[in-house]
Amino acid sequence: MKIVLLGPPGAGKGTQAEALVKKLFIPHISTGDMFRAAISSGTPLGMEAKRYIDQGHLVPDEITAGIIKDRIAQPDCREGFLLDGFPRTLPQAEALDEMLKEQGGLDAVLDIDVELDRLIVRLTGRRMCKDCGAIYHLLYNAPQKENVCDICGGSLYQRVDDTEETVKNRLSVYEKQTAPLIEYYQKKGILHIVNGDNPINTVLADLGKALGQNWN
Ligand code: AP5
Ligand code: MG
Ligand code: ZN
């Protein structure tokens, strides 16, 4: 299964991707996570990406499409993959189509649809585990112990791009550059829209249904 998770910043792509890949046994590929890993290792890619990410702008298409092309050529992607945060511009979507031309293209695009005014609260209240990357929310998915990861005991931090000002930039970038992909994939007949305003487990079940699975 070759799947794309689409949706605005804070829609729950990372949260759902983690749960979906445990059920589907395919790798979770998040361009945002790849850039953040490169930033913390201080690689040239990380230094370049940081200039854009910290402002809430997109990393240039050539760079982003390049890292995806290399990643999906890895052996663990032979049975499929779940892309989270890629593509998010039309040129990226076209580049992905080109990469998958000989493998029959994508199987499904799952769009997590959330009312825009909820997203600021979701993003400013998000906390991430420094060690394992688990995603929490101060109100909607709080850790049992304040600032400590339930899974690995690591400490939690706030992403630098989760301040209110940067979030507003990210949402406007989404509206202009990423939202047009909904129509792009609708025309191809592979788009499934799921209501992302629901609780996390309901969204997961609905994503499963869209993929023809029954996880209730
Ligand atoms: P990226 O890391 O992909 O960020 P994003 O798209 O802005 O999305 P987020 O990770 O912020 O949100 P999410 O949908 O994963 O939500 P989450 O599950 O965490 O990209 C970061 C940056 O990297 C970009 O701005 C750009 O600069 C660069 N970049 C990345 N990909 C790129 C590309 N292809 N091209 C160019 N540049 C690129 O959930 C959010 C919060 O809500 C959490 O606290 C969670 O607990 C909570 N939550 C989740 N679901 C629910 C629910 N159903 N109900 C209540 N709360 C919920
Ligand atoms: Mg994410
Ligand atoms: Zn952890």
Domain 2-114+178-210 falls under CATH 1.10.357.10: no
Taking the model in full, what pTM does it have?
0.97
178-215 per-position pLDDT tens digit:
999 999 999 999 999 999 999 999 999 999 999 999 87
- 97 confidence band (pLDDT: 50, 70, 90): very high
DSSP state of 110: E
pLDDT of residue 145: 97
pLDDT of residue 215: 78
Rounded to an integer, the average pLDDT of 54-77 is 97
> For residue 30, which atom of ligand 1 is closest to its CA?
3
Mean pLDDT of the chain: 96
Closest ligand by atom to 130 CA: 3
Rounded to an integer, the average pLDDT of 13-29 is 97
Cβ(185)–Cβ(77) below 8 Å: no
Domain ranges (residues) in the chain: 2-114+178-210
Q: Is residue 116 predicted with pLDDT exceeding 90?
A: no
pLDDT of residue 163: 94
Rounded Cα–Cα distance for residues 14 and 12 (Å) = 6
Which ranges constitute the DSSP H helices of the chain? 13-24, 31-41, 44-53, 61-72, 90-99, 116-124, 164-173, 180-188, 200-210
Residues near ligand 2 ion, CB 5 Å cutoff: 13-14
CA 14–ligand 1 middle distance (angstroms): 6
> For residue 138, which atom of ligand 1 is closest to its CA?
44
Q: Is residue 216 predicted with pLDDT exceeding 90?
A: no
Q: Is residue 171 predicted with pLDDT exceeding 90?
A: yes
